Structure 1
Amino acid sequence: MAENKNGSLAAWMTAHAISAAELADAVNTAIASLTGRGGSTSERTVFRWLSGENRWPQERQRRALETVTGLPATALGFVPRGRSSSIPIPPPREDPADMKRRTLVTGGIAATVAAAPNASRVRRIGMSDIERLQRQFARVIASDHRHGGQRAIELRAAALADEALNLQNAGSATQRVRSRLYGAAAAFRSSAMWAAIDGRRYTDAITHMREAQALAELSGDQAIKFRIWSHAGTLYRHMGRPADAFAANDVARNLTITRQDPLFASLGLARQMAIHGLAQDTSGLRRAFDQAQAAMDRADADAYRPVWLTAFYDQAELHSLALSAHLAAGDHPAAEYHAHRCLAALRPHMVRSRAITTARLAHAQLAQGAPDVATTTAMQIPADAATRHPRVSRMLQEYSAALRAVSPNSPTVETWTDHTTTWRMTG
């Protein structure tokens, strides 16, 4: 049976750093989004696809796989049996934006029907559904910190946003639960937005941003509004648009939650600092860092905060944003200082952040005339991050060009070239 193994699907999973269990989960989420009913795909199902034991999955699974991967089933190594399934499923080519708009409009209608006297047989949506979505959201956050920027993370988060919206139509619920559902959908959509930003897919990120902003308004959730507008500032910063970045980040910083919790205020100031760096405003940069640090020091460590914030924002992230700001402003000694502080404080699960910080440190050291030290630093980045994370790969390509410009035909360039060749072979 070895010749029947599905190498195409295995290659896609490897390239996107997604396990069999994660793929099964993503497929089930997509099935729920497409049909309104959950799927039953298991880890064993995926193993049967990989081994070639099942060479043509049932139609709803194929359609879900195409949604998750963005590829037709045949491009994933599946072979048609020559007959179609009778399982009904919505048309495959519907514009996702149209589906979201229809879902948002019909959500209000469903709420009205659920409140009618004859709705006693309609399913009751409650806090247990919200808690299940929150557990899935925590897994998306954890996957992002391990891999970051992957298309699979973006698609999975977007599909989970659709699942949260579909629950609006699945039964009756209190207004509080409906608001929480919109908040969950906004949270998932903002994670899709962040994955697209991290993967440098800026057009996709803008689409997710607009959906997330509309959902956040429906939810009334200040924390998720802050996340989305703060991400918008980061998006525009990465696109080289400091004026738009300042405007978006100011929306986040002016929300009530920044006056209620100093940690939110600190993050808003820290991202403002990074924009000051892009704008070459070194005095504004330093002032924002001091203010962000002071706000962080005032924050109650025991206060309840959403998982997306507690999973990443801490002293290490503040130094990471300072590193980015000083690097953009051309203050390389300060950038190196903050890089070392960041690396010393990073939590073990922040795999993506460690790779990004290390790449930035190498740039700062090279700019100070230390190509040997910088190259030793860059070589510490793991092969999978160097070859699979778009932002890290881009920074290392820029590092290669800068190294060759600074130290052409040197043994250091040869060492770096040999190392990157090994990365490509093992990554």
Structure 2
Amino acid sequence: MSLSTWNARTARTGRTAVRCTLILAPLLAGITACGASAKSLSDQPYDALEHLSFGGAGGAAEVDPDAPLKISAKAAGARITDVEAVDAAGRPLAGELSADGRAWRSSDLLTAGAEYTVRVSTENGDGEPGRGEHAFRTAGSKAERIDVTFGPDEGTYGVGQPITAELSGEVPGQRERALVEAALQVTTEPEVTGSWHWVDDKELHYRPKDYWPADTRITVSSQLEGMAIADGLRGGKAEAVELRTGERVEAVADISGHTMTVYQDGEEIRTLPITTGKEGFRTRNGKKVVLGQEPNVRMTGTSIGIPAGSAESYDMDVQWATRLTWSGEYVHGAPWSAASHGSANVSHGCTGMSTENAQWLFDLLKPGDVVEHINGEGEDMAPFGNGFGDWNLSWEEWLAGSALEGEGDDHAQPASGRARPSL
């Protein structure tokens, strides 16, 4: 039941629609005696449109979206019993009915630049039901607009790929966040349980409870345009994005065991000898989503703070590099450390392996696939700010970052800049 319906029904005075008394005389059994203005319950409701006033929305001009919609009954003894107002996108407009049923007023701001249809139910002085329908269009608004940019770009991704929504302005309040979040829609085939999570005041991520199923079709869109978020702030434009997931590919790197086991659609397909970060450059533990891939990339020690000319300094071209973090953690070919593959951790934070294995893995992986590092001594992968560490939050922690599901975003971390790769 809509808010407007509830208010209208609870405001009724308790008067029955038609006053009748059943006469039990034998010759008149089953005949109903009513007043002179009685109307059969099977008749159509009368057209109430001419008995209603729609205030500023009653004319042909576009309506000010920052002014409330006001509807009143003009005829003596008539009253409004129900109001249903929706825009072309199906968004309802909440409102309140006066105690005497003579007037209704919207309690939310109208959407700017939208077509509205209003259906009003009434009763006249004799209790006869009426119906009236009115349409109007709202004008644009001079309020500040918040545009939305969805990511990633259209294409096929791994089952760990989060969806991102970057806002052009900050939305700090919980109520305002809930309005924005509810207008950002994710539809999937097959159906998947998921939720948005506020990373900060300008960015949201969306992920399912578990990884996306393989071959899922995903559409991300917004109904925010023109919608009132706060005083002087309305929703702006957003371009819808269509994605799909490919096969489920996961790689689990055992840091202490010096191996990486690769799974495809749940089945183990290969185990590779590896080396990871040595003391002082430990590889992060946790789940990381593939950000991108480069057949060749130049890696330098200075890009991660190692002084040029020092014992740890390096500058070299690396092949078959799969990026896991913005700070420069990759999986790549490392023929210079072949003697340590499978036996020791000697890198500056990346996961190294033979050139042949790196190329095989490079060809198998795609952005959105998941690489997980376990049993290491390094710090944990951050959920946000250094790539997609979203899967390192439990489902309960994830929901806590939703303005609709939880109490805030205590686990979110601000985004950081993108650094050059480590080796």
TM-score by length of 1: 0.22
| Higher fraction of strand | 2
* Structure ID, larger Rg: 2
TM-score (norm 2): 0.23
Structure with the largest fraction of helix: 1
Higher relative contact order (CA 8 A, sep 6+): 2
